[in-house]
């Protein structure tokens, strides 16, 4: 493990799958708790702090997409969603709701562990790709703190970002004015080989645009036809 005993909650109603994941992660020195539905998840979150949630989308009662949306509105806890094989729409919706990564069933527990490590590395800010001396960057009166992994708007208020959204913004801020391809952005933000589901970067860009664009009809992230994206503002050390 790349992090020391991360605290992980597994929200999964299939007992066999839940036990398999929990047993494997505990063998990897993770501190694991489990829940079978949204009510149990809420009860656990009320009394415990977490480093990551593994969330199945097919749950009894309130489904995983709704829980993902609610969890993201309340906190920045990293979320990895579990989806049925081939359900691309569920993956897209999960990412739009704020999930940081996804995994299709059935899966190898070692791949799940790799995804967990990648998400936690991003969340902890251990991957320093900037090459800058300053840990704080400024664009159009916004401030991004690379060490604290925080974004503050021109009024000084903190803007909540998921770990994937922060990584995407960091990649843009470190390379302003350059065309960044979708595959390139995926490799910069996911810390793993590019997945065949490459259009997920478009979902991330859309989410980030909604948080950054204060003037309707004007965006700091410009789409390049057949190319990718350009971050248009000037970026300087803060």
Averages of pLDDT over each 10 residues, the chain, 238 residues: 78 95 95 96 90 93 90 82 79 81 90 90 54 73 89 92 88 87 75 47 90 77 86 88
DSSP codes, 132-150: -S-SEEEETTEEEETTTTE
Examine the domain organization and report whether 19 and 119 are in the same domain: yes
Q: What is the CATH number of the domain that holds 47?
A: 3.40.50.2300
Question: Please, is 100 exposed, middle or buried when counting C-beta atoms within 10 Å of its C-beta (0-12, 13-18, 19+)?
Answer: buried
Q: For residue 147, give its domain range.
A: 136-237
Amino acid 31: pLDDT: 95
Amino acid 231: pLDDT: 93
Examine the domain organization and report whether 117 and 148 are in the same domain: no
Examine the domain organization and report whether 140 and 87 are in the same domain: no
How many angstroms separate the CA atoms of 176 and 172, rounded? 6
DSSP state for residue 118 in the 8-state scheme: H
Is residue 2 included in any domain, yes or no?
Answer: no
Q: Which of 94, 124, 154 is the last residue of a domain?
A: 124
Amino acid 16: pLDDT: 94
Residue range 55-112, pLDDT digits in tens: 999 999 999 999 998 887 777 788 999 988 667 787 788 887 778 888 988 899 999 9
Q: Which of 73, 102, 124 is the last residue of a domain?
A: 124
Domain count of the fold of the chain: 2
Half-sphere exposure of 147 (CA within 13 A, CB side): 6
Is residue 1 included in any domain, yes or no?
Answer: no
Which of 226, 195, 229, 166 lies closest to 88 in space, CA to CA? 195
The first and second tokens of residue 102, run together, are 């996804």
Examine the domain organization and report whether 220 and 144 are in the same domain: yes
Amino acid 126: pLDDT: 39
Q: Name the helix (H) or strand (E) containing 157.
A: none
């Amino acid at each position: 493990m790349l992090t020391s005993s991360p605290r992980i909650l597994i929200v999964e109603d299939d007992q066999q799958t839940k036990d398999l994941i929990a047993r494997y992660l505990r063998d990897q020195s993770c501190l694991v708790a489990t829940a079978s539905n949204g009510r149990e998840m809420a009860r656990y979150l009320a009394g415990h702090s977490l480093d990551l949630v593994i969330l199945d989308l097919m749950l009894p009662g309130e489904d995983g997409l709704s829980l993902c949306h609610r969890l993201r509105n309340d906190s920045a806890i990293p979320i990895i969603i579990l989806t049925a094989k081939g359900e691309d729409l569920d993956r897209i919706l999960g990412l739009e709701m704020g999930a940081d990564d996804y995994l299709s069933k059935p899966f190898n527990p070692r791949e799940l562990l790799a995804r967990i490590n990648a998400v936690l590395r991003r969340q902890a800010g251990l991957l320093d790709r900037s090459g800058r001396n300053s840990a704080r960057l400024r664009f159009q009166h916004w401030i991004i703190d690379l060490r604290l992994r925080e974004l503050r708007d021109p009024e000084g208020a903190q803007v909540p970002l998921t770990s994937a959204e922060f990584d995407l913004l960091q990649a843009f801020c470190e390379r302003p004015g350059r065309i960044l391809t979708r595959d390139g952005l995926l490799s910069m933000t996911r810390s793993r080989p590019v997945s065949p589901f490459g259009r997920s970067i478009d979902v991330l860009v859309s989410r980030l645009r909604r948080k950054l664009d204060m003037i309707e009809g004007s965006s700091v992230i410009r789409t390049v036809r057949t190319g990718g994206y350009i971050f248009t503002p000037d970026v300087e050390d803060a």
